[in-house]
Amino acid sequence: MDRGACVNLHGKGRKERTVPLWAGTAKQIRRWLHQINPDPDQWLFPNRAGGQMTRSGVTDRLKLAATGASIRCPQLKTRSITPHIVRHATAMHMLQAGVDVTLIALWLGHESTATTHMYIEADLAMKQRALNSIQAPQFKQHRFCPPKDILAFLDGL
């Protein structure tokens, strides 16, 4: 939790990865560690019994947090906030910030960037920036004028 703080994540399919933390996040985690057992083998977010929090436990905690946040942001009341939504939003923010898709795939723990491509959809603003980055085709519009012999042929029908 010193300089270059990171956390080890244990994800679905028993995948493990290490991700860096913002300095502000590391500071909050240091505060949290003083409230729980600071043993390095202790789960960062333990369940009531001190064991590993389950996926449903994480979802429940997130729903509580979203309910609390909806006091300041009422539109959250009508939204379904799930860990997957947070994961998707994080990936989209990274993409919108210009982070390369291969790095986002590593961050998400995807073994293939093809999985990430299916996961991340470009939003309208990104599509507009892409369109603005290329030059529109330049061409002169002109009205079609058929040759006289075609007109004569058609008149003879």
Extract the tokens encoding 150: 């075609």
What was the pLDDT predicted at 43? 84
Q: How confident is the model at residue 93 (pLDDT cuts 50, 70, 90)?
A: confident
pLDDT(2) > 70: no
pLDDT(125) > 70: yes
Encode pLDDT of 32-47 as tens digits: 888 887 777 788 888 8
Task: Give 10's strand partners.
Answer: 16
* Section 2-23 average pLDDT: 78
Extract the tokens encoding 67: 């309910």
What global pTM score does this model have?
Answer: 0.66
Q: How confident is the model at residue 69 (pLDDT cuts 50, 70, 90)?
A: very high
Backbone angles phi, psi at 107, to 5 degrees: -60, -45
Amino acid, res. 63? K
Average pLDDT of the chain, as a whole number: 83
Provide the 10 A C-beta neighbour count for residue 15. 11
H helices of 6-98, in order, are 23-35, 55-69, 83-96
pLDDT(138) > 90: no
CB 58 within 8 A of CB 83: yes
Q: Could you tell me the CA-to-CA distances from 157 to 148, 152, 154 in Å, in that order?
A: 15, 9, 5
Domain ranges of the chain: 1-53, 54-121
What was the pLDDT predicted at 44? 84
Amino acid, res. 86? V
pLDDT(66) > 90: yes
CB 25 within 8 A of CB 33: no
What was the pLDDT predicted at 111? 79
